[in-house]
Amino acid sequence: MVANTKRLSFQASPAPEAQHAFEQLTTLYGNSSVEDADVIIALGGDGFMLQTLHQTINSGKRIYGMNCGSVGFLMNDYRLDGLFERIDTAVENDFHPLQMKTVNDDGTTSIALAINEVYLFRQSYQAAKLKVTIDGHVRLEELICDGLMIATPAGSTAYNLSAHGPILPLEAPLLAMTPVSAFRPRRWRGALLPNKVCVDIEILEPSKRPVNAVADNTEVKSVLSVRIAQSTDRTARILSDPDHSWSERILAEQFSD
């Protein structure tokens, strides 16, 4: 076992590759409980990293991810050696998630957090019809589309990019509002918003055109309205290798094939 100068807690996804890495790393470095750890090491892909970040929001724990999955944009490269040194030189990014609050057709309300994005999408064969209000000002009286998302800089290279939304530098105080298959207004391609705004989305004709809302991996079905705003009292902390920092990854993504 390597002399342990930091208390590390290793958490792994169920994937065989991640489980194998867990066995190797815990044998080499030991394994502390999440509560006692100085740093949590997440082993898996981006989905597992998001899950770990959600579980540790406001705990003060720093998360260092290593890619043992199919998609690892949020993760560092997997290596056995030099883990303490990598953590010592890692770049820390602290960020506030989005909070999604929904009013649902059964009279209930739901609250969920999103590190990547909040998105709404049509539930049936008919396009969604949405009214979009930003800080109390109606900006779109009627948006007809398959979906609409609000992405953070951390999430701008995920679903947002696939929907032809802009990539945002991690330090940018912005959110990307990106439609999916907008039919009307036909030429509307989305907007960049200050990250301090409050976005209200009302579902028009909800019985005819039902809509679901998702905050990262939390889905709420048949919503009537959605409010999205940055949750400034919640913080997630992530560590990245300096030669593979989030800022560098986001910049490199804009020049990739």
Catalytic site positions: 46
Q: What is d(CA 127, CA 138) in angstroms, rounded to the nearest whole number? A: 20
Of the chain, the end-to-end C-alpha distance in Å amounts to 42
Q: What is d(CA 242, CA 239) in angstroms, rounded to the nearest whole number? A: 9
Q: What is d(CA 128, CA 181) in angstroms, rounded to the nearest whole number? A: 10
Q: Which of 207, 227, 211 is nearest to 219 (CA)?
A: 211
112 to 98, 123, 191, 217: CA distances (angstroms):
8, 19, 23, 9
Instruction: Put the strands of the sheet holding 191-194 in their side by side order.
Output: 191-194, 174-180, 147-151, 117-122, 211-215, 218-220
Q: Which residues are annotated as a binding site for NAD(+)?
A: 46-47, 116-117, 146, 154, 157-162
129 to 107, 149, 202, 228: CA distances (angstroms):
20, 14, 9, 18
Q: Which residues are annotated as a binding site?
A: 46-47, 116-117, 146, 154, 157-162
10 to 25, 29, 67, 97, 111: CA distances (angstroms):
8, 9, 13, 24, 29
Q: What angle do CA 185, 190, 194 make, to 5 degrees?
A: 135
Confirm if 182 and 221 have CB atoms less than 8 A apart.
Answer: no
